[in-house]
Amino acid sequence: MRRTALVLSVTVTAALVTTGVLTHNALAGTGVADTAAAPPAGVAPAVFSAMQRDLHLTPAQARDRLTLDGRAATTQQVLRTTLGARYGGTWVATDGRTVTVGITDAGQQQSVRNLGATPTLVSRSEAQLDAIVAKLDRHSSAAPRTVKGWYADLPTNSVVVLGSGAQGFLAAAGVDQAAVRVEATSEDPKPYIDVVGGNAYYIGSGTRCSIGFSVNGGFVSAGHCGTTGARTTQPSGTFRGSSFPGNDYSWVQVDAGNTPRGLVNNYSGGTVAVAGSTEAAVGASVCRSGSTTGWHCGTIQQKNASVTYSQGTVTGLVRTNACAEPGDSGGSWLSGTQAQGVTSGGSGNCTSGGTMYYQPVNEILQAYGLTLVTSGGGPGPTATATTTSPPQGGTWAPNTVYATGATVTYGGRSYRCLQGHTSQVGWEPPNVPALWA
């Protein structure tokens, strides 16, 4: 018998959002309105403005969205680890007001409620969906040219194959076809390499591509931009690693005299600071920088997506509805101040819209043992690093990073952290047994 899974929902009330809109409208033309229109601390004005433009949000709604996206990321981090095989994935609803997390154990309902959520039944775990995607990845050579890609679709609790004529491919992969949906698509994804996206760099005799994010000793970018050993200019350096197809990532070690910084060009005369690389949830807002089209935002549609380019299949990508065009390839994707990935390719453009894919940055960091450079100018945590907690025995506080094993005091009692996380109001030790004991 197939196990069912549970879904948890964390809702930002419509009343709160409506109040923000009415307050903004009522105070238009005043100094208070100017303050309300400003981005939250740590969020670049270019990102905040692009979110409002592309997601059709007021400043108040954009602020609420950033708050919800941050909560979704923390919830995802905590439950993915604490629930293990019982975890069914995290996503933000299309209206940007609800976070949903699938779990596969009805006995965890109280743990879910302790996080301020309501359980609901679904069918498959995230691990089960990923296993199906992995089977399709291993048999990608059997995919006909009419199949453009596939991905795990968390909200529908299934794996979607884009294209037509997929029956033989699915049979060759030996997947549970009851868990697979084949959908027609107009996508015709191509890797973006011809024109610079993000800050430019040049490969060999003049091919241009885009810097993704600075890392210790250099930067990461798309794998289709250059092969291992190839030289770059502006900045000068050498590809020390490159993988494409299969993956679409690379890293370039820059020559002495080049200084990696934790910044992204905003194409408005300034830069956007990079604070870290916490993975955003499905449905969260995401913004992209590229020299062809500048800043554009959208939402994360699916994760663990596989795309078949003419050069071969690339797996493990993130699928979005943020537009891009040739020349944006390799550029930076951020959710708030958190690095998400580098542009791989996609379909469409920024006039009619499109579907774009990015290679997750944490996978690149893990693959090459790199450390992300953050806005302070120094290295940030790698994808596998342990985050340092406040001093042992300190008083619990919100908006604080706690590592597994950290101890705090709250209400006169001592508690030990069971799972590393960034604390939130309402997640005090007595209220969340999944985090504190």
Which residues does the annotation mark as catalytic? 224, 248, 329
73 backbone dihedrals φ, ψ, rounded to 5°: -65, -40
How far lies 417's CA from each of 30, 179, 195, 268, 394, in Å?
45, 37, 48, 42, 12
| 8 A C-beta contact, residue 76 and residue 88 | no
DSSP states of 300-341 = EEEEEEEEEETTEEEEEEEEE-----TT-TT-EEEETTEEEE
Structure tokens that stand for 118 in this block: 């309501």
Q: Which residues pair with 35 in a beta bridge?
A: none
The H or E element spanning position 6 is strand 5-11
The Cα-based distances of 219 to 28, 266, 373 in angstroms read: 43, 17, 9
For 71, the token pair is: 């909560």
Please choose, from the candidates 393, 387, 383, the residue with its C-alpha nearest in 3D space to the C-alpha of residue 361. 383
Residue 31: φ, ψ to 5°? -65, -30
**DSSP string of 48-117, one letter each residue:** HHHHHHHHT--HHHHHHHHHHHHHHHHHHHHHHHHHGGGEEEEEE-TTSSEEEEEES-GGGHHHHHHTT-
Distance CA 402, CA 392 (A): 10
Pairing of strands 407-410, 394-395: parallel
